[in-house]
Amino acid sequence: MAFEPGQKIGDYEIVARLGAGGLGEVYEVQHLISQRREALKILLPTQSGTPEMVERFRREVQTLATLNHLNIASLHNAFYHDNQLVMVMELIHGETLRDRRLRVAVTLPRALDYVEQILRALIYAHGLGVVHRDIKPSNIMITQEGVVKLLDFGIAITDHSTDLTHAGFLMGSLNYMSPEQVSGQKATARSDIYAVGVTLYELLTGRLPITGASDYEIMVGHMQQVPAAPHQIAPIVSEALSRAVMLALEKDPAKRFATAEEFLQAIESATMATRHQPVLTLPMAKPPATAALRPGTGARSEPVPRSTTEARQASAGSGSGLQSLPLEELSRKLATYIGPVAKFVVKKLAAQSDDLDHIYREAAKQISSDADRAAFLRSRNK
């Protein structure tokens, strides 16, 4: 459903379309009585007919209704229009952290201020049992006054909500996703801490800690690759601050900061000694090579460059008769043991061979437990 300027929606008049992101399309509106400018969000037409997406949108409304914090975009109202749920939110004048980093260089104190505000928002949200699950620069708005606003709680979960995610299904943005989310485990507050660690790493160094030419490479990287410490890339970053970032990026959630407050205190402690030093500018950011995996679509908003080898394998696999193989069933079985990465493991193996028995044997090598590996192989004949 597309709205036009001047159109009336309940007690609101459409002023302009602001864009689309996550689950919904966003418009600037004006309340007919108070004349206050606000932001109106409604499900995208492609999502409005999907029961799961409608439920996620409803949960986002209910989650935001429980949150009242300076650094979280606030919910003002929610109602139904032509049987579609609409939410009305605080209108934020500014730009996303992603856009700002691509447009201008950011000083070290300013970057730390942004992250500290994000962490204060998470201290509050986590205290109420809300896990965001999709912290990234494009979900962080910077107002004209320099205030951070955390956006898009569309896939957030609470202590009392059931997860709508199915086995083998990724939720969030791959570049900022924690290892436990990649492997299919439930996200926790420490998963948000990992995503903030990725965001701070990118601010400090101008690059992502984990990169790859494919989804599979990035997923494996999050689970296995230890990035270079920030101070090794950007000399203006102190070793103490670098250690705090690397602690947030620990693969094992139990080894990370237990709370956002601990992370905030570590940043403040690490930077206390440098408060009076000359203000230095951090490296400029580069556009990431990959884009977010949107909930429910499995699709990207922009293409991902592939290596020459992968391109050759994909080309070879396209005419090998693989369409007749039950690869979807194989992926589903493998996901029981290794999580959402199973889909990419199977796709990579299928591009190399059309022998299903061989694919099963190679896929089994990704399962660490001997008993689970044997059970997976036995499932081949069921």
Residues assigned a catalytic role: 134
CA–CA separation, 168 vs 220, rounded Å? 15
CA–CA separation, 44 vs 97, rounded Å? 24
SS (H, E, C) 346-359: HHHHHCCCCCHHHH
The torsion defined by the Cα of 3, 298, 219 and 98, in degrees rounded to 10, comes to -10
Q: Which single residue is written with the structure tokens 């440098």?
A: 274
CB atoms within 10 A of CB 214: 18
Which of 154, 157, 171 has the alpha carbon at shortest distance from 128? 157
Q: Cβ(264)–Cβ(197) under 8 Å?
A: no
Which of 274, 301, 298, 277 has the alpha carbon at shortest distance from 290? 301
Strands 84-89 and 75-81: antiparallel
Q: Cβ(98)–Cβ(284) under 8 Å?
A: no
Long-range interactions of 228-237: CB distance < 8 A, separation 24+:
230/201, 230/204, 230/205, 233/204, 233/205, 233/206, 233/207, 233/283, 234/204, 234/205, 234/206, 234/282, 234/283, 236/108, 236/280, 236/282, 237/108, 237/204, 237/205
Q: Cβ(152)–Cβ(21) under 8 Å?
A: yes
Q: Cβ(33)–Cβ(109) under 8 Å?
A: no
